[in-house]
Chain A
Amino acid sequence: GAVVSQHPSWVICKSGTSVKIECRSLDFQATTMFWYRQFPKQSLMLMATSNEGSKATYEQGVEKDKFLINHASLTLSTLTVTSAHPEDSSFYICSAPSLAGGNTGELFFGEGSRLTVL
């Protein structure tokens, strides 16, 4: 199956700094990618839909100035957590739709990135 890779897997940063997480589709092109946030022992919460060449679509309640998303190419989407605070500590996961075409709902997921803000 298709491969989606995230980097970094782990990141620890000081409060007030910004952190960038990359999501790459390694063997296919993804015009759309999804960014999720997962709290411990909880479900995945969709944060935003990243669209290649255009602005991301954010879910209700997600601060777009806090979580900057850029989808500059067909294989790379980035999530930047700006001025991070301890409450931003979480597991962030990206995904891209299946190559099968159509709206099948099959997603390929990245490995996830665990952010800890001190």
Chain B
Amino acid sequence: AQTVTQSQPEMSVQEAETVTLSCTYDTSENNYYLFWYKQPPSRQMILVIRQEAYKQQNATENRFSVNFQKAAKSFSLKISDSQLGDTAMYFCAFMKPSTASKLTFGTGTRLQVTL
């Protein structure tokens, strides 16, 4: 079974600064997908960024980028130029392609962006 570990329960960053959220996972699979989802307070969870394991290039989406280290089974999320609207719970998630969008989530990191 796959496990996803987020070792930072809470983090804080000042507006306009950069913050990195950590995620490690354990799997025996060679091909899989990794995700970061964002759950703002009292709002729906949304996809932030996705990475296919067979791609060496790190995924980027505007201010969001990942550092994917397959050998180390590490998948960190970097948020640049943090904004107040980035305040949310962030969940790292893992998926095997054969499991029809069934995700395994980490425990989450609560990010607070401050003025």
Contact = CB atoms under 8 A, between A and B. Distances in A.
Interface string B30-45: 0001010000000111
Nearest to A49: B102
Interface in B79-115: 91, 93, 95, 97-108, 110
B101 A105 contact: yes
Interface residues of A, number: 22
A112 to B, nearest CB: 7
A32 B33 contact: no
Contact of B91 (A44, A49, A95, A111): A44
B106 A109 contact: no
Q: What range describes how many residues of B lie at the interface?
A: 20 to 34
Contacts of A104: 33, 50, 101
Given A42-B107, A46-B102, A106 B47 contact: yes
A112 B89 CA distance: 14
Given A49-B100, A105-B50, A109-B45, 20 more contacts: A32-B100, A32-B101, A41-B108, A41-B110, A43-B91, A43-B106, A43-B108, A46-B103, A49-B102, A93-B45, A98-B101, A103-B97, A103-B98, A103-B99, A104-B33, A105-B33, A106-B101, A107-B101, A107-B103, A109-B44
24 contacts: A41-B9, A41-B110, A42-B107, A43-B91, A43-B105, A43-B108, A44-B91, A44-B105, A46-B102, A46-B104, A93-B45, A95-B45, A103-B95, A103-B101, A104-B101, A105-B33, A105-B35, A105-B95, A105-B103, A106-B101, A107-B103, A110-B44, A111-B43, A112-B44
